Chain A
Amino acid sequence: MRRLTALFPSVRAADRRLLREGRLSGPMPWVLAVMLFLTTLAAAGGLALGQAAQRMGGGLETRATVQIVQADADARERQAAVTLTALRGDPAVRSVERVGAAEMAALLEPWLGAQGTDDLPLPVLIDVGLTRADAVPDLARTLARVAPDARIDDHRAALAPVSRLIGTLRWLALAIVLLMTAATGFVVVLAAASALDTHRGTIDVMHLLGATDIQVARLFQRRIALDALFAGLIGLGAGMLVLTLIGRQLAGLESELVGAVALPAWGGGVLVALPLATTLLAAAAARWTVVRALGRLL
């Protein structure tokens, strides 16, 4: 806490005038704003993908579907009955629900038309809720004994490529955020050095008039921290705006998979922390630069 107040010193109004006021004078704040904007997007992307992966995993890992494909309706119904019994008796199964004929018809209607399903040998579909994600192979063996035409499908397997893609994109987002943070650090250090250059005359005079290193550093810290904060808020604001627009378009897609893409509740906190962290970084860099430069003087 003490370090924080040291980074954000209260500087008297008159002292602030010692450095040319007027925010956003150089290109530095705008560069920072652009970087913060991109960092915000990358971070939001990473967080949303993480959330999506979790939801997909959470929702699908413990679900499976049993299909019974048999042209003979009687045989199909017999197998369906024993399958349901076997599933209900298995401790790894949490819930069992046969997809009704009406629902099946509704699912197929887009392809076959309203009357098309009446005399088709539709497979039996059973939606299974599992108590553990790795129960599918055991269930498959059990079912093979009682119902030869039953096939159990693990949704996880179907979604594995998507999961892998999401995983890769998350790492990419993390890498981008880290790179952008490092680049932001460099920009801030360069900005401090260039501000030092610009105000070299003022610094020398203040030094010779008896200002302490900390007195001089405070002015810089404050000025650069304010610039960084301002830039950060612009970047964050623009990023949030874009995210909101994208969010609306995603909502319009009404896709279950895409619907899983959303920021976790604490994600907003992470995004807001980005400009604040940049501000702290800027203040620290300014202080370090000025104190080091003054340290070379007598």
Chain B
Amino acid sequence: MGSIVRFENVGLRYGADGGSDGETLSDLNFALAPGSFYFLTGASGAGKTSLLRLLYLAQRPTRGAIHLFDEDIVTVPRDRLPGFRRRIGVVFQDFRLIPYLSVYDNVALPLRVAGVEERDLDTPVREMLAWVGLASRADTRPATLSGGEQQRVAIARAVIARPEILVADEPTGNVDPEMAGRLLHLFDALNRLGTTIVVATHDIHLLSRVSNAQTLRLEGGRLSDPTGALRYPPRNSA
């Protein structure tokens, strides 16, 4: 098995004219092994969210090639992208829950988008809500939840459709250390089921809490790998 994600000489520059203040991301060359757990760190403004946006197909790179599931997503026809997106779960830095939908409907959204029948939907949604400890809040609106609870709804929505890749942008940003530990535990459990996990965080204390995680560091728009994640074959695929 090769890589589930591969970046080749990827550069990203914001602004219509290509920008004058240089690239936000430069010369990204890396590959992610399926079934691995990665932390993406870096100072605020280092470009973590930007890199993740490339990964979950919200943004096209200015240059370079990105391969997802062994397909070049820069050249793939646009009408095939929804199919790719359904294989990627995303926890957005700002959650992006739909405010007028109940917690239940927010979590069910990816399944409905994928065309799952209503009768096949209730069990997984209830199970997922129980998993993130929100079973009793199924019918409430996101606005009435605490920040940490909203974050857990966002996580439930991201994993409900059993994505092959889970991309989480600061998923512990709004919660106390104990809840952060519990959420990481959720990711770890998911990872053991085979999901490739990429978690962006600037909280270096998190890094040590997942035993087999690898760390990628963004500095000045370039990537370094203090744990050697990119140089050596990841443990899981060895």
Chain A residues in the interface with B (C-beta under 8 A): 12-15, 17-18, 20, 201-202, 204-212, 215, 297-298
B86-117 at interface with A (beta carbon < 8 Å): 86, 90, 96, 98-101, 105, 108-110, 112-114
**3 A-B pairs closest in CB distance:** A210-B86, A210-B85, A210-B82
- Select from chain B the residue with minimum beta-carbon distance to A19: B100
Q: For the complex, give the distance between the alpha carbons of A210 and B86 in Å.
A: 5
Assuming the contacts A15-B112, A210-B82, A215-B113, asked whether A202 and B59 have C-beta atoms less than 8 A apart, the reply is no
- Do A298 and B81 touch across chains, with their CB atoms under 8 A apart? yes
Q: For the complex, give the distance between the alpha carbons of A15 and B79 in Å.
A: 21
Count residues on chain B whose CB falls below 8 Å from chain A CBs. 28
Pick the residue among A206, A210, A297 that contacts B83 (CB under 8 A): A210
Assuming the contacts A201-B98, A205-B109, asked whether A298 and B59 have C-beta atoms less than 8 A apart, the reply is yes
* Chain A residues in 8 Å Cβ range of B110: 209-210
Q: For the complex, give the distance between the alpha carbons of A18 and B109 in Å.
A: 8
* Chain B residues in 8 Å Cβ range of A18: 98, 101, 105, 109, 112
B13 at the interface (CB under 8 A from A): no
* Chain A residues in 8 Å Cβ range of B96: 201, 204-205
A/B interface sample: 20 pairs, CB < 8 A: A14-B112, A14-B118, A17-B105, A18-B112, A201-B96, A202-B98, A205-B96, A205-B98, A205-B109, A206-B109, A206-B113, A208-B85, A209-B90, A210-B114, A211-B113, A212-B79, A212-B82, A215-B113, A297-B58, A298-B58
* Chain B residues in 8 Å Cβ range of A204: 96
Chain A nearest Cβ from B58, distance in angstroms: 6
Q: For the complex, give the distance between the alpha carbons of A263 and B46 in Å.
A: 72
* Chain A residues in 8 Å Cβ range of B78: 298
B67 at the interface (CB under 8 A from A): no
B69 at the interface (CB under 8 A from A): no
B219-238 at interface with A (beta carbon < 8 Å): none
* Chain A residues in 8 Å Cβ range of B86: 209-210
Q: For the complex, give the distance between the alpha carbons of A194 and B113 in Å.
A: 23
B132 at the interface (CB under 8 A from A): no
- Select from chain B the residue with minimum beta-carbon distance to A215: B113
Chain B residues in the interface with A (C-beta under 8 A): 56-60, 78-79, 81-86, 90, 96, 98-101, 105, 108-110, 112-114, 118, 121
Q: For the complex, give the distance between the alpha carbons of A82 and B118 in Å.
A: 92
- Select from chain A the residue with minimum beta-carbon distance to B116: A14
- Do A17 and B113 touch across chains, with their CB atoms under 8 A apart? no
- Do A17 and B109 touch across chains, with their CB atoms under 8 A apart? no
- Select from chain A the residue with minimum beta-carbon distance to B74: A298
- Select from chain B the residue with minimum beta-carbon distance to A298: B60
Chain B nearest Cβ from A212, distance in angstroms: 5
- Do A208 and B98 touch across chains, with their CB atoms under 8 A apart? no
- Do B101 and A17 touch across chains, with their CB atoms under 8 A apart? yes
Q: For the complex, give the distance between the alpha carbons of A212 and B56 in Å.
A: 15
9 further interface pairs, Cβ-Cβ under 8 Å (given A205-B96, A297-B58): A18-B101, A18-B109, A20-B100, A205-B98, A208-B56, A210-B82, A298-B59, A298-B60, A298-B81
Q: For the complex, give the distance between the alpha carbons of A234 and B187 in Å.
A: 54
* Chain B residues in 8 Å Cβ range of A211: 82, 113
Chain A nearest Cβ from B228, distance in angstroms: 32
- Select from chain B the residue with minimum beta-carbon distance to A199: B98
Q: For the complex, give the distance between the alpha carbons of A215 and B109 in Å.
A: 13
Chain A nearest Cβ from B15, distance in angstroms: 16
- Do B109 and A209 touch across chains, with their CB atoms under 8 A apart? yes
* Chain B residues in 8 Å Cβ range of A14: 105, 108, 112, 118, 121
* Chain B residues in 8 Å Cβ range of A297: 58
Interface centre among B81, B99, B108, B109 (most CB of A within 10 A): B109
Chain A nearest Cβ from B114, distance in angstroms: 7
Chain B nearest Cβ from A171, distance in angstroms: 48
Q: For the complex, give the distance between the alpha carbons of A215 and B121 in Å.
A: 19
Chain B nearest Cβ from A144, distance in angstroms: 84
* Chain A residues in 8 Å Cβ range of B85: 207-210
- Select from chain A the residue with minimum beta-carbon distance to B97: A205
Chain B nearest Cβ from A197, distance in angstroms: 15
